[in-house]
Amino acid sequence: MSRFLPLIAFAALVALFGFGIWWNTGHDQHEIVSPLINQPAPAFALPVLGDETRKVDKQSLLGKPYILNVFGSWCIECVHEHPTLSGEVKQLGLPLVGFNYKDDPADAAAWLSDHGNPFDVVIADRDGRAGIDFGVYGAPETFLIDGKGVIRYKHVGPITPEVVAKEIRPALAALAKEGG
Q: Which stretch in 19-27, 103-111, 122-130, 160-168 sits in contact with another protein by CB under 8 A? A: 122-130
CA dihedral (150, 155, 161, 166) positive or negative: negative
Q: Pick from 65, 135, 140, 158: which binds another protein (CB under 8 A)?
A: 135
The answer to the question of residue 30 lying near another protein (CB under 8 A) is yes
Footprint of another protein on 52-111 (CB under 8 A): 102
Residues near 96 by Cβ (< 8 Å), separated by ≥ 6?
66, 67, 69, 85, 89, 90, 118, 119, 120
Would you say 67 and 88 are in contact if contact means Cβ atoms under 8 Å apart? no
The answer to the question of residue 128 lying near another protein (CB under 8 A) is yes
Q: Which stretch in 45-53, 59-67, 129-137, 169-177 sits in contact with another protein by CB under 8 A? A: 129-137
Minimum CB distance to another protein, residue 161 (Å): 26
Q: Pick from 131, 155, 164, 168: which binds another protein (CB under 8 A)?
A: 131
Would you say 96 and 122 are in contact if contact means Cβ atoms under 8 Å apart? no
The answer to the question of residue 134 lying near another protein (CB under 8 A) is yes
Nearer to another protein, 43 or 176 (CB): 43
Closest to 118 (Cα-Cα) out of 177, 69, 158, 154: 69
Nearer to another protein, 23 or 51 (CB): 23
Size of the site for another protein (CB under 8 A): 20
Minimum CB distance to another protein, residue 24 (Å): 13
E strand map for the chain: 45-48, 51-57, 66-71, 96-101, 121-125, 141-145, 151-156
Closest to 78 (Cα-Cα) out of 141, 9, 161: 141
Give the binding site for another protein (CB under 8 A). 5, 29-30, 32-36, 102, 127-129, 131-138
